Structure 1
């Protein structure tokens, strides 16, 4: 267990500018797309490999506190379709969170097939690659599934590796280990992709408020200087 402070109630004063406090998640902020996704999924007759097109949006949120604990993070939405199709092949929402005090990276994910996961890992603030994992039955980095998935496609663990590149792109490799009903061995359901930035993120609400307040003060200061010059 981490060395938490005795005072579990007092909250720190957060920096309003989340984009300046994301640590290793900095390179994920923005809007992304890719047509080079690669998926290997279980089917009755064996593994099936498919290409996919991915659109992902990662936007900064205001800092979040649990007493003395503070997270800076990104809210994300991923939508995936098959080539030449409109129907969603995969839809996923959640948060990427960074806790600087412990070097902890968290990914929460929820999909509309009735499953929720919280994966955790550790990284340096300037890391360009990091790994997270979630394990069935874990109290902190666990996996919850609806009854049918527990019956037919039981998720044993989830691993994701992320690499931030220098050319406004990032890659992930994801492995979901499944206990598929009727199969003798667990199945490695894999996904990988490299996404490219198509738009910058929008600053979080407290950052926008701080920027607006600073602009007002600058305008007031400029007006005061002009008035003094006229009276001189």
Structure 2
């Protein structure tokens, strides 16, 4: 039985207690998930070779353990060929259900995550309808800000709420300027104009995209040259 099942089912927990394991030795489910998720993150932070998996798990718990080698071999054999498509939750559950880890968790000195090791941020693949586009690699908000030539505060401003109460001094700034113009027939027309930062950011995006497209699309490049 996995540790998760024992923690979720009091009946199972009491049966284990009858075999000599005090009920108080069971740690919370949230603690178990933290440890198994930390181990999963560490495994995904590199390649699927079993020796490398063991080294990264050792780094997380602070010491090597007998349960790591068979677990690493099991994961390398099962997922090695499709390592780039493995989910964190899959590995976390396999860790929690492996016999060696279960025994260690129920022992006097259960594994603890003393360090964290995570995979560096990576941009998700483009959807099928954008496979022909040349897109910049922007896996983090900092990368997005640098590409747009903005600082962190300016990027936060773009990501904030729209149309907040105009009279609220503590509210974020509107992205648009609003102007009411009276029409000839007496009615009014509301004109919404993007603020200068919005315009500048939009122009940067258009310029970067058109430049990248001209480099990879001869037809577009010739069309731009003809237009000039």
Give the TM-score, by structure 2 length: 0.27
Query: Which structure has the highest helix share of the two?
Result: 2
Give the TM-score, by structure 1 length: 0.26
Larger-Rg structure: 2
Higher relative contact order (CA 8 A, sep 6+): 1
Query: Which structure has the highest strand share of the two?
Result: 1
